[in-house]
Amino acid sequence: MANTADPALNPVSSPPAAPEPASKQSNTKMDQPQSQSQPQPQGQKAPKPAKPAKQQQPPKDKNASAAPADAAGSDKLSPAELKKKAKAEKAARRARERAEREQPGGGAGGAAGGQGTGTPAGKKGSDAGAAAAASAKGQKGIPRRGSAQNVPQSAAAELKKKQEDKNVAVFGHLYGQQRRTTVAGAGKEVHPAVLALGLQMRDYVVCGSSARCVATLLAFKRVIEAYTTPMGTSLSRHLTTHLSHQITYLSTCRPLSISQGNAIRALKLAISSIDPSVPESEAKTTLCEFIDTFISEKITVADQVIAGSAAQKIKDGDVVVTFAGSSIVKQTLLTAFKQGKKFRVSIIDSRPLFEGKNLARTLANAGLEVQYSLMNGVSHAIKDATKVFLGAHAMTSNGRLYSRVGTALVAMSAKERGGVEIPVIVCCETVKFTDRVALDSIVVNEIADADELVVTQPPHQLTDLPDPVAAAQPEPKKGGKAAASNPSPTESNTASNKDGSPLTDWRDTPNLQLLNIMYDVTPAEYVDMVVTEMGSLPPSAVPIVHRMSTNL
Amino acid sequence: MPPPSAPLTPGLASFLKSLKTNPIDTSIDNLISLLKRRQIRHSRSCATATAYLLRSVISACRTSDASKLIERVQSVGRRLIAAQPREMVVGNIVRRVLGLIRDEAEDDRDGDFSLSEAGSESQPQTPRAGDDPSEALYGRHDGSASKPLSSLAAHPISMFSLLSQPESENSLPGSPVSASPSGRLPGHPQNKDIRAEVLDGINEIIDELGQVDDQIAAYALDHIHSNEIILTHTSSTTVQKFLLKAAAKRKFTVIHAESYPNNHEATHATVSGTAPNNDELLSTESFQKPLIAHGITVILIPDSAVFALMSRVNKVILGTHSVLANGGLVASAGTRVIARAAKVHQTPVVVVSGVYKLSPVYPFDFESLIEYGDSSKVIGYEDGDLVEQIDVQNPLYDYVPAELVDLYITNLGGHAPSYLYRIVSDHYRKEDISF
């Protein structure tokens, strides 16, 4: 956020600032910005524009008096002063370079902007002594440039420092690169369908293990359809590498799910088993057919089979508890409802995705009796439950259930009630089985953006009319040109600080970390039954089934 | 609670302010309505309000007759409890005040007679108006082991004394307090300053309420070692103070579950060190440097991630709403799964709580202790269509059974859950348990 926004300030301020001695600026300011930017942890952007406005006033005056002297002749400067100037300049340059280097991939565009404007500004600064015929009007721009130049540096440096300790130490191995934020920088080999899918997955538009698997396969089908074998190579050899570009791109958007991995593996196997002598069009048709069969066999039909057999487990009068929004559980419940069974569903949901809301809506629209509570209500929801149905992200080879974070708590609560244990039934396609094993939720997991935990929209904005306008105003400006929007984001920022979450500035708050993990591992003893398209199994049967299904 | 109207919102502060000026009956009604409307809701605020109210009640009582005072306090207490039966601290404070009056009355009597326990037992019982007949019965049979059963059979109301029964037998020889429950004061009207002494006692209770967190925090270093990973839940001031005390000396990591729909704002404010804009907590007093300012790493997690992280946690420290005599506790919703997850991972669960939260109530029906809150916190108005179709639940409290708790730390020290009944009987006289 701050990354992309900060360099964006540069274009704003550098043009008017052009003529003024940046050297002097840095001379007077060099130690100032450091100390200044340190105590301005909140909002980053918030205090900045305000500061140049008033805080810079004194330096401006100094500049005004100093500028003529400067203009009169830089030889008038004492050697010590010159030295200081040079030193400051060097420091500024170095800091700038560092800042540029530190811009992570996400802010690539921003970094480029910073570079582009930053360097010329610096150059101008060096010969600024001559150009110091600064009019009174020009003075206005001066401080801004100084600050705009300096703040990104120090802010970026600071940000870097922060970024390091914002990673929760225990999960350090899981913080890979940031999720991709734009399609910029994606390889030219990446098919548009895949580009779009990547962003959809990142934004949880396509969410859920099966959905991601199907969407990936469909996108790959289009890739294959659009594919032509280059000269001098065969389809079975080259298509795999072509696909792996797509796969790499997808995995930078969001780490691949187990089901995606399994599907991709199967697809690659199918590609490599194509005889090189087969003509390209025929091979492509075969592959597309393979994908279609894979989807229907492993997911669409499998889901129907699972829903059918899991629905049989639901009896009249049951109270079914489920966690978050699993598509297969939804299908199961709807199937059971269509069979005329009378039961109640209790959905437990969690922050920050609230996947259960959609499930609740679908079920309620279908006419089921739905009760909805959040994680804090687990003990209450489970009290009168008779069955727990859970979806899965994956089943590990040691029989553990790897699913949306919180699942383990629900399964545990079901096993808590002394004596009468509530059966916990997992619905899972075999395509989600993996030969990986997991003991805890820390070694294998996925870290989502911690900013998702910050409550973003203050609810009063719904009713308060002027506020959305104010909030909406900076948006387009930011999108178009971050230029003049300097003050307005400030306002909206402070406004959101006031009534928004106190966490808005968590990245600037030392020692505060937010952790947003996606999955947890439910011990095998909490799972009574795994319903798959191959039948209902105990969790210990997972490795066997996995072997069978991969050997087929 | 919209922020602009915050200063106008009736709450503890406004109540305490009005207490001085309003006539006593108005104040009582005022507190009752505040409790009913849940405008005073934290247990400490309730306790403080009750203590101040009772102090004014007693100072407004123009009598030094202990039985009349008891009667008056009982009637006020009953009304307060009826206003909010789930706020158990209200009852606790009333019981403590009743105990105070009885103690003072007895001290007077003891001073006058300078008699031994045995002597006082042989003293003829003076019937008292408004006194529970079971007490007299109980008092007379106190010595023998078989009698309490019969008294229980006769008065189902004293089922509560089941818990304190073993204690009373133990302490019978030692403590004069538990042995002579019924006051024999009416014969001695010259006990001039019983009221003043009771008022002093109430002031002590009020002081205790103010200091309890610091007293508990004093034990922090006994329980937190260096480099520990501690999980906590909700924005409890007691827990924060406890951790802060340890943070002054030791470095550790705190994982803070945010307790989403009901307390997450306060939790976020607590972890990030923003001043709580909650005026019900006396903000000047409760505001403090956050843990992060002491160099403690605080990791905020959603409630759902508790199980995933529990394998790394060394200790779970929880605040509570009230503690029951059986060692179970009523704490904010979500506590139970956390305690349970800790149990599954063999992680010790420590509950910090002032003694004033210790309630002599035994939970025969857990459901009755649970309060349900505003469901719009779970699903907002933007999902209005959904709210119409489904049943949204937002429980505010969880009952956590005693077996999930490893240790209680009160202002008196650390206790095993099985020992709590003893503290209960130390603090409340059994004739006051159901007043």
pLDDT at A521 over 90: yes
pLDDT band at B288; cut points 50, 70, 90 = low
The answer to the question of residue A182 being in a domain is: no
pLDDT at A408 over 60: yes
Between CA B359 and CA B90 the distance in angstroms is 10
- The region, left, alpha or beta by phi > 0 then psi within -120 to 50, assigned to residue A390 is beta
The answer to the question of residue A392 being in a domain is: no
The per-residue DSSP string of B8-20 comes to GS-SHHHHHHHHH
Asked if B423 and B410 count as a contact pair (C-beta separation under 8 A), the reply is yes
Between CA B164 and CA B433 the distance in angstroms is 10
Asked if B135 and B181 count as a contact pair (C-beta separation under 8 A), the reply is yes
Chain B contact set for A502 (CB, 8 A): 265, 268-269, 272, 274
pLDDT at B50 over 80: yes
Interchain CB distance below 8 Å, A509 and B273: yes
Chain B contact set for A372 (CB, 8 A): 378-379, 386, 390-393
Between CA B336 and CA A488 the distance in angstroms is 45
Amino acid at B113: F
For the entire predicted model, the pTM comes to: 0.71
Which of B305, B334, B382 minimises the CB distance to A376?
B334
What total number of domains does chain A contain? Answer: 3
pLDDT at A497 over 80: no
Between CA A136 and CA A155 the distance in angstroms is 29
pLDDT band at B113; cut points 50, 70, 90 = low
Kindly state whether residues A133 and A242 are assigned to the same domain. no
Query: What is the average per-residue pLDDT within A223-234?
Result: 86
Q: Tell whether B235 lies on the interface with A, counting CB pairs under 8 A.
A: no
- Quick: pLDDT tens for A48-89: 444 444 444 444 444 444 444 444 444 455 666 666 777 777
Kindly state whether residues A140 and A198 are assigned to the same domain. no
Query: What is the average per-residue pLDDT within A221-225?
Result: 90
The answer to the question of residue A204 being in a domain is: yes
Query: What is the average per-residue pLDDT within A390-403?
Result: 92
Domain range annotation of chain B: 7-130+182-210, 132-178, 218-433
* ipTM field: 0.76
Q: What is the pLDDT of residue A444?
A: 87
- Give the end of a domain, one of A243, A273, A303: A303
- Quick: pLDDT tens for A429-446: 999 999 889 888 888 888
pLDDT at B257 over 50: yes
pLDDT band at A100; cut points 50, 70, 90 = low
- Give the end of a domain, one of A303, A337, A358: A303
The answer to the question of residue A349 being in a domain is: no
CATH of B218-433, one of 3.60.15.10, 3.90.25.10, 3.40.50.10470, 2.60.40.420: 3.40.50.10470
Residues spanned by the domain of A495: 457-500
Domains B7-130+182-210 and B218-433 share a fold: no
pLDDT at B131 over 80: no
Q: Which of residues 397-456 of A touch B (CB under 8 A)?
A: 404-406, 408-409, 412-413, 416, 440-442, 445, 453, 455
Apex CA B435: angle with CA B189 and CA B12, to 5°?
A: 95
- Quick: pLDDT tens for A315-350: 999 999 999 888 999 999 999 999 999 999 999 998
Kindly state whether residues A56 and A153 are assigned to the same domain. yes
Kindly state whether residues A12 and A152 are assigned to the same domain. yes
Sign of CA dihedral B89, B90, B93, B94: negative
CATH of B7-130+182-210, one of 3.40.50.1240, 3.30.56.10, 1.20.120.420, 1.10.10.60: 1.20.120.420
The answer to the question of residue A41 being in a domain is: yes
Chain A contact set for B307 (CB, 8 A): 406, 408-409, 412, 441, 520
Alpha helices in B155-286 (DSSP H): 161-171, 176-179, 194-217, 220-223, 237-247, 260-272, 283-286
Q: Which of A115-129, A192-206, A490-504, B355-369 has the highest mean pLDDT?
A: A192-206
Residues 6+ apart with CB under 8 A from A241: none
- Quick: pLDDT tens for B304-329: 999 999 999 999 999 998 888 888 88
Asked if A150 and A92 count as a contact pair (C-beta separation under 8 A), the reply is yes
pLDDT at A172 over 90: no
Kindly state whether residues A196 and A158 are assigned to the same domain. no
Asked if B202 and B97 count as a contact pair (C-beta separation under 8 A), the reply is yes
- Quick: pLDDT tens for B13-47: 888 888 888 888 888 888 888 888 888 878 888 88
Whether the ω angle into residue A423 lies within 30 degrees of 0, i.e. cis, is: no
Q: Which of residues 7-66 of B touch A (CB under 8 A)?
A: none
* Residue whose C-alpha is closest to residue A185's, from A108, A116, A251: A108
Interchain CB distance below 8 Å, B298 and A375: no
Distances (CA, A) of A199 to A203, A259, A260, A261, B233: 6, 18, 16, 18, 35
Closest chain B residue to the Cα of A507, Cα to Cα: B272
The answer to the question of residue A387 being in a domain is: no
Q: What is the mean pLDDT of chain B?
A: 76
Structure tokens at A275: 């005889």
Helix (H) or strand (E) holding B121, with range, is helix B117-122
The answer to the question of residue A37 being in a domain is: yes
**CATH number of the domain that A214 lies in?**
1.20.120
- Give the end of a domain, one of A166, A201, A218: A166
